[in-house]
Amino acid sequence: MKYFLSIPLITVFLIITSPLISHAQTDMDAIMMEKKQFCVGPMYSYNSWKNYWEGSLKRENLNLGTVSSQTFSLMGAYGVSGKLNLLFNVPYITTKASAGTLHGMKGIQDLSLYIKWMPVEKQWGPGTFSLYAIGGVSVPLTNYVADFLPLAIGLHSKTASARLMLDYQVGKIFVTGSATFVARENITIDRTSYYTEQIHLTNEVSMPDASNFNFRAGYRSSKLIAEAVLNKWTTLGGFDISRNNMPFPSNKMNATTIGANFKYVVTPNHKLSLVGGGNTTVAGRNVGQATNFYGSIFYILDFTHKTKKADQSGKTN
């Protein structure tokens, strides 16, 4: 049986920028489900920030107070084979500002689908080296409002992503690194014009693409995983929030976060596991200085008719 380790929600702006990084389940970790196993579970996450970066200027906003979001997700992964997994995630999000008059938002956000392929896994020196290619798409599931930042539940952009990931494990110590390119489709908003650094007489907004780099390292066994994570999301284009302006979906939203994740396998047969973690934003631009906590329970449904025996690596079972 394979392991399932949720990565932290990285809540880029004021809200979640990218389905890809915000609620990925295993699209950024070096763990695969075994053939015909389906791992599924609910996740809860709480994200909040008081300060944010208006361009590069860090400030508070007394008319927002603390902006928080709660996410309830259903996530899952299915092993087409031990080398090929399909993953999905569907979040329901609510947002709220503790001060001022602005109304919170809520709704089902984007469906994310990933295909995760491990073409290479071999012994190399004292440990095991593996290479992954991950492709993803995300599509808004509802007609939620994107143009209401920082309280919008998402940016309502369809995305496609391509990621290359490397993992190396010696004994129970591992390190994983990945690089991602995210293409984002233009969005349409409810108004007929908007100002970025010039006027646009259209309801269509060009969304800058983005890159993401993710590094993680820690302990990984069949029973327990503990890891530290560094993530860097960079918007490739976009513009800064001008002085005392409101944020806009095509802002240049950058965020660097650090965090930790834990996974504990509860039952001896590996069917039930608990996952939790958190992260905080250490640098940013046009995003909230967010802190995020999450927890999840995962259960594995086995669609094979014979019981498989867990091995000890925790990575390949």
Partner 1 sequence: MNTKQFLYRFFIAAIVVLIIAACSKDIVGRTDNTIALQPANIDLNAGSWKPVLLTAPTDIVVATPIATNSPDYIIQINEIKSFQANITTEEKNLVAYWSAGAILRWNEILRELVAKHNLAPYQNADGTYPFPSANNPLAYPLFPFANPPYAARAYAYVSAAQYDALVTAWYYKKQFNRAAPYKVDSSLKVLVPKSDLPSYPSEDAVVEGTAVEMLKLLFPGDQDYIQQRAEEHRRARLISGANVRSDIEAGEALGKAVAQKFVARARGDRAGAAAGNQTIWTKLETDCAARGETPWQSLESPKRPPMLPLFGKVKTFLFDSLTAVSLRAVAPPSTSSKQMKDETEEIYQLVKNPTRERTAIVQFWADGVATYTPPGHWDAIAAEDFINKNFSEVRWARNMALLNMSLMDAAIVCWDTKYFYFNPRPSQLNPAIKTLTGMPNFPSYVSGHSTFSGAAAAILSHIIPDRATAYDAMAKEASVSRMYGGIHYRSDCEVGLTVGKNVGGYAIKRALTDGAE
Nearer to partner 1, 5 or 14 (CB): 14
Residue 17 main-chain phi, psi, to 5 deg:
-90, -45
Residues 6+ apart with CB under 8 A from 143: none
Residue 208 main-chain phi, psi, to 5 deg:
-65, 150
Reduce the DSSP state of residue 119 to 3 states and report it: strand
The CB-of-198 to partner 1 minimum distance in angstroms stands at: 7
Nearer to partner 1, 93 or 265 (CB): 93
The CB-of-99 to partner 1 minimum distance in angstroms stands at: 6
The CB-of-65 to partner 1 minimum distance in angstroms stands at: 9
Nearer to partner 1, 100 or 171 (CB): 100
Task: Find, among 255, 290, 260, 288, the residue nearest to 276 by Cα.
Answer: 260
**What secondary structure letter does DSSP report for 7?**
P
Q: How far apart are CA 38 and CA 243, in angstroms?
A: 49
Nearer to partner 1, 83 or 308 (CB): 83
One-character DSSP codes across 123-176 = EETTEEEEEEEEEEEEEESS---SSSTTT-S-----EEEEEEEEEEEETTEEEE
The CB-of-245 to partner 1 minimum distance in angstroms stands at: 5
Phi-psi region of 313 (alpha: psi -120 to 50; beta: other; left: phi over 0): alpha
Q: Give residues in contact with partner 1 (CB under 8 A).
A: 62-63, 80-81, 83-84, 99-104, 115, 117, 133, 135, 137, 143-145, 147-148, 158-160, 162, 181, 183-186, 189-195, 198-202, 204-207, 209, 242-246
Nearer to partner 1, 84 or 272 (CB): 84
Q: How far apart are CA 295 and CA 158, in angstroms?
A: 27
The CB-of-213 to partner 1 minimum distance in angstroms stands at: 18
The CB-of-246 to partner 1 minimum distance in angstroms stands at: 5
Nearer to partner 1, 104 or 295 (CB): 104
Within 10 A of 18 (CB to CB), how many other CB atoms are there?
A: 28
Task: List the beta bridge partners of residue 300.
Answer: 39
The CB-of-64 to partner 1 minimum distance in angstroms stands at: 10
- Asked if 247 and 150 touch (Cβ cutoff 8 Å), the reply is yes
Nearer to partner 1, 149 or 225 (CB): 149
Within 10 A of 122 (CB to CB), how many other CB atoms are there?
A: 8
Nearer to partner 1, 162 or 228 (CB): 162
| Structure token pair of residue 16 | 């979640």
**What secondary structure letter does DSSP report for 296?**
E
The CB-of-54 to partner 1 minimum distance in angstroms stands at: 9
